[in-house]
């Protein structure tokens, strides 16, 4: 089974500037999130995978097919929902989706039937005969999704799918994406800067920063591992400002926790995030603190959120 997306030293130059700097990653989950701040290169990567930009170095494979040499075989397998407005204002919704269904290769009768089915499924059944130019922003997003899935692609690429949607619209669209993920064998590549959307819909994330891979994370494994994460706030005299050297007892405490297999990260002014290994309980943490005379002022449990993973990746890439 080939990886969904495989990047090998992928480089892209646009307008005389290097936008993607030798990306390397192998992503084989069903639903992949592409994260990064604005200008990180998410859309450029998507457009390169679609064959709109020619790599200046390296290669990429999607569903096992080379994006350059085998683009003819790849394109029929892909459905694409662009970030920006993409519609034909004078066409009715149903005609628009049928049109792109036929261009994708569906026979006319099948395209019409699937266009109706898709429109009903995305919840725009009542508006399908209205011209797209009269649709609200949320309806246009849904119509873009409809044209991307009408031909039943094996890989669905969604670029900022929840852009410009109100909370209800966002919830609806996220629900549809999850339904595609859960009820079909289609793969998803979702680019977003909204971490919550990616967390809800994806199994794996690729984090980009300034055109470089800042990190990858298999969210599904993270969820399965269900690792315990503690947030600690230590009390004690002589604690300096954020960024200064910690007092020696604190440093000793950290070293002890690391000996026990914990991963510790300071998040400023005596606040630590500690990831416990399997089999280690909170009691051992208290015991170590007690033995070293470190006073724990506050301790709370939490699961590592995508936001933590993202912020960590951003910090490490800096």
* C-alpha dist (Å) from residue 251 to 234, 244, 257, 289: 12, 12, 10, 11
Handedness of CA 211, 212, 215, 218 (dihedral sign): positive
Measure the CA angle with vertex 228, ends 225 and 234; round to 5°. 155
* C-alpha dist (Å) from residue 90 to 87, 131, 132, 135, 184: 9, 6, 6, 11, 32
Interface residue with another protein, options 22, 37, 152, 236 (CB under 8 A): 152
Q: Which is nearer to another protein, 47 or 217 (CB)?
A: 47
Alpha-carbon distance of 142 to 139, in angstroms, equals 5
| Contact map string, positions 5 to 44, toward another protein, x by CB under 8 A | ---------xxxx---------------------------
- Using CB under 8 A as the binding rule, whether residue 113 contacts another protein is answered as yes
What is the length of the chain?
Answer: 318
- Using CB under 8 A as the binding rule, whether residue 99 contacts another protein is answered as yes
Interface residue with another protein, options 3, 110, 265, 280 (CB under 8 A): 110
3-state secondary structure at position 131:
strand
Interface residue with another protein, options 34, 63, 180, 229 (CB under 8 A): 180
- Using CB under 8 A as the binding rule, whether residue 183 contacts another protein is answered as yes
Cα distance between the two ends of the chain: 35
Q: Which is nearer to another protein, 78 or 206 (CB)?
A: 78
The runs of H, that is alpha helices, within the chain are 42-49, 71-74, 93-103, 108-122, 137-149, 167-183, 195-201, 219-225, 248-259, 282-292, 306-317
| Contact map string, positions 43 to 82, toward another protein, x by CB under 8 A | ----x--x-xx------------------x--xx-x-x-x
Q: Which is nearer to another protein, 156 or 294 (CB)?
A: 156
Tokens linked to 35: 């994260």
Interface residue with another protein, options 18, 21, 30, 116 (CB under 8 A): 116
Interface residue with another protein, options 4, 29, 147, 162 (CB under 8 A): 147
* Binding site residues, another protein, CB under 8 A: 14-17, 47, 50, 52-53, 72, 75-76, 78, 80, 82, 84-90, 95, 99-100, 102-107, 110, 113-114, 116-118, 120-121, 133, 147, 149, 151-152, 154, 176, 179-180, 183-186
């Amino acid at each position: 089974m080939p990886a969904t997306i495989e990047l090998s030293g992928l480089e892209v130059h646009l307008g005389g500037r290097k936008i993607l700097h030798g990306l390397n990653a192998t992503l084989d989950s069903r639903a992949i999130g592409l994260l990064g701040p604005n200008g990180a290169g998410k859309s450029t990567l998507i457009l390169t995978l679609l064959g709109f930009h020619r790599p200046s170095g390296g290669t990429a494979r999607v569903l096992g097919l080379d994006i350059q040499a085998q683009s003819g075989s790849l394109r029929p397998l892909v459905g694409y929902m662009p970030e920006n407005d993409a519609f034909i204002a004078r066409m009715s919704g149903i005609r628009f989706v049928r049109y792109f269904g036929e261009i994708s290769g569906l026979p006319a009768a099948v395209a019409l039937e699937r266009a109706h089915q898709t429109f009903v499924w995305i919840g725009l059944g009542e508006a399908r005969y209205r011209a797209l130019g009269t649709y609200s922003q949320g309806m246009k997003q849904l119509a873009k999704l409809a044209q991307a899935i009408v031909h039943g692609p094996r890989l669905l690429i969604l670029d900022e799918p929840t852009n410009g949607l109100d909370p209800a619209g966002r919830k609806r669209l996220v629900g549809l994406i999850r339904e595609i993920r859960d009820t079909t064998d289609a793969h998803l590549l979702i680019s977003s800067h909204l971490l919550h959307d990616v967390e809800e819909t994806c199994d794996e994330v690729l984090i980009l920063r300034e055109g470089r891979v800042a990190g990858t994370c298999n969210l599904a494994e993270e969820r399965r591992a269900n690792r315990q994460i503690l947030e600690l706030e230590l009390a004690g005299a002589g604690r300096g400002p954020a960024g200064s050297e910690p007092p020696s007892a604190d440093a000793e405490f950290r070293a002890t926790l690391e000996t026990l297999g914990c991963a510790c990260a300071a998040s400023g002014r005596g606040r630590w995030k500690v990831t416990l290994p399997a089999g280690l309980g909170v009691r051992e943490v208290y015991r170590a603190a007690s033995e070293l005379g470190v006073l724990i002022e506050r301790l709370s449990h939490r699961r590592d959120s995508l936001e933590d993973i993202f912020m960590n990746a951003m910090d490490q890439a800096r």
